[in-house]
Amino acid sequence: MSDGSWSVYLSGEIHSDWREQIAAGIEQAGLPVELSAPVTDHAASDDAGAGTLGEESEAFWRDHKGAGVNAIRTQTLIRNADVVVVRFGDKYRQWNAAFDAGYAAGLGKPIVTLHDEEFVHALKEIDRAALATARSPDQVVNVLRYVVGQAAELGRTCPSRTET
């Protein structure tokens, strides 16, 4: 964006308020950051395909349609992001979050992972691809405060949005 704001995509688990904590921290710090995320209403996300392309009698095809429609949003937002934060929670296996991390890594996007200490071993490959690994939403905000704040102090816009 020409206004110098940074786009941060918040991927991952949808069963806690981590996104709201990050948003509040960004607002409190006054950072020029715009947040985006997948659809976090589980039922709406699951119904994305059937709700837009029609019902399916088989669960496989219903899920296939939903995954495709959701991927339009997810892939576009990740492609346009300056930083991708990927949260792995403790309730469910988040295969979609792992896929988002891999997609972001393939695009060369800076990744910040967010997960509890108990998942260090299970997520070692994803953490290796990440440029930072946080244990709390506050740590994610601290990373953004440093990166975005330093750029703002130097009078620079976001690196991916500078004009040539």
pLDDT at 154 > cutoff 70: no
pLDDT tens digits for range 33-86: 999 999 888 788 877 877 788 888 898 988 889 889 999 999 999 999 999 999
Going by C-alpha positions, the residue among 26, 145, 148 that lies closest to residue 158 is 148
Counting other chains too, the contacts that 152-161 makes at CB distance below 8 Å and 24 or more residues apart are 152/4, 152/31, 152/32, 156/4, 157/2, 157/3, 157/4, 158/1, 158/4, 158/5, 158/6, 158/7, 158/82, 159/82, 160/82, 161/1, 161/2, 161/4, 161/82
Helices (H), the chain: 18-29, 42-46, 48-53, 59-80, 95-106, 124-129, 137-153
pLDDT at 19 > cutoff 90: yes
Q: What is the mean pLDDT of residues 141-161?
A: 75
Query: What pLDDT is stored for residue 115 in this prediction?
Result: 96
Task: Report d(CA 7, CA 33) in Å as an integer.
Answer: 6
Going by C-alpha positions, the residue among 98, 93, 140, 82 that lies closest to residue 11 is 98
Contact 62, 50 (CB under 8 A): yes
